[in-house]
Amino acid sequence: MFGSKTLLQHILRGLIGLAALVAAIVLARHGDAMSMIGAAVLVIVALIAWRGCPLCWLTGLFSTPRR
């Protein structure tokens, strides 16, 4: 359920989620309303990329077939 078809695809999903989370933190530091909305959207993107929390992504890493 949490795993991807290939290990490369799973790693890329993890990197996308991490980049989105870092960008959300940077945007949230600005403090204005539009930045907060953008940060919230980026957090949602990270959660979608990780298919849940970072622990869900890690669980998927171990269930992804090694090829």
Q: Determine the Cα angle at 1 with ends 61 and 65, to 5°.
A: 45
Question: Has residue 35 been placed in a domain?
Answer: yes
Whether the CA torsion 29, 31, 34, 36 is positive or negative: it is: positive
One-letter amino acid at 30 equals H
In this predicted model, what pLDDT tens digit does every residue of 10-47 receive, in sequence order?
Answer: 999 999 999 999 999 999 998 899 999 999 999 999 99
Query: How many structural domains are present in the chain?
Result: 1
Question: Has residue 1 been placed in a domain?
Answer: no
Question: Has residue 2 been placed in a domain?
Answer: no
pTM of the full predicted structure?
0.85
